Structure 1
Amino acid sequence: MKFKPSRDSIFGVLLRSPWWMSAGIATVLIIGAVAALPREYWAIGVFASIPFVVIAVLAGMRGLRTPSPARVQAIAAAAAAMPWPAFSNAVQAGFERDGCQVERLNGGGANFALTKDGHIALVSADRWKAARTGIDAVQRLQAARERRAAHEAIYIALGEISAPAREYAAAHDISFMTAPDLARLLRDWKT
């Protein structure tokens, strides 16, 4: 079982923040304990700082894997210029490298079915370079998800996502894979 903190908890917020914020909190806890407590209680500050040190390490590792803004822009531009066969092959290779079994689907709202550890996700990618994603495409993905009883649904979009599409996706727990996420998926891709 994977431990996943609540998105709004302090640990969830710190995981999305730069690593140095968690390291700073850990440092403050240790210095505060040394400054305010008798010597025999200094261990309290050290033990209280351990979760923040772990979060700092995790956030730092995540930061190292995050592509630079220039790389994100380069991959997004290259992906937008690609024809569907080349783009779909690159996306499939990225998912397979991440440990997913990939099944290609023929339309019907989704283009790929990903399976990993018994978990099924559907991915819609064929309108990746549309200037604006509307609610209809997201609704088709949700319908495909319901037909296949998939656990997760992911919509790949490089363009703008309309407010109704975002609201519908939030209500139905559909994720959007935008340029930064696509750059992480295609991190080994030569542009």
Structure 2
Amino acid sequence: MAENSLFAILLRSPWWISFVISIAIVAACSTLLPKDIWPFAALGAAPIFIIGCMAAWRQFKAPSSAKVEAIRAEAAGMSWKQFAAALEAAWASEGQSVQHITDRAADLRLEKSGTVTLVSARRWKAATHGVEPLKELNDAVVRLKAQYGVYVVLQGTVSETARAFAKEHGLLLLEGDALAAMLLQSKSGKA
């Protein structure tokens, strides 16, 4: 699905927006079309209604902003060893096999179903994240024959140049709410 398609935008929007659009389409069809064909035209609202249901389910399952902030604050207070263990537990709970590696550019090697991902997480508390660590991660992905690279950011900002480089080379920036949700999910899985 394209990032800025109508369905993608509706999936990221509050669930009720899709339902309002569906109701508006049905109302417009019933008002503007002849009585014998308007129900068939109104079926065009079904995909938007389904997207609304999907968005509602995702938003229902998503952690609250208070929980996300609490886990981010907790992670910010962790030592590198504790943070690495939390990441390892999070990926292990998703069925990944996790290995610590001693490479300058990557810290963890994930493998699942033959797909290898390298994770660079050591700069997770840096104030700014530039393009250099991403270049090193990309080189490690090529050198170690991995399919993917993940760069973990808990604090600080990622420069626009670094974001562009990551997008161009297929590197994932794991940051913000996505990182917090992953850590929260693994933490609740342990409890």
TM superposition score normalised by structure 1: 0.87
The match for 1:169 is 166
Q: Distance in 2 between matches of 1:43 and 1:35?
A: 11
DSSP-derived class of the 1:186 partner: helix
Structure 1 residue 149 corresponds to structure 2 residue 145:
yes
1:83 aligned partner, one-letter code: S
2:149 aligned partner, one-letter code: A
Could you say if the C-alpha distance between residues 35 and 170 of structure 1 is closer, same or farther in structure 2, counting changes exceeding 3 Å?
same
DSSP-derived class of the 2:37 partner: helix
The match for 1:182 is 179
Listed as ranges, the gaps of 5+ residues in structure 1 are none
Residue-by-residue CA offset, 1:140-163 (whole Å, 9 max, x unaligned): 111111123323221111221123
CA RMSD in angstroms, aligned pairs only: 1.8
What's the CA shift for 1:185?
A: 0.3
Q: How does 1:43-62 map to 2 (within 5 A)?
A: 43-62=39-58
Q: Distance in 2 between matches of 1:30 and 1:21?
A: 14
Q: Distance in 2 between matches of 1:115 and 1:54?
A: 34
TM superposition score normalised by structure 2: 0.87
Identity percentage of aligned residues:
34
DSSP-derived class of the 2:184 partner: coil
1:143 aligned partner, one-letter code: D
Instruction: Tell me the matched-pair count.
Output: 186
What's the CA shift for 1:97?
A: 1.7
Structure 1 residue 128 corresponds to structure 2 residue 124:
yes
Q: Distance in 1 between matches of 2:177 and 2:3?
A: 19
Structure 1 residue 73 corresponds to structure 2 residue 73:
no
Of 24, 27, 34, 1:31 maps to 27
1:130 aligned partner, one-letter code: A
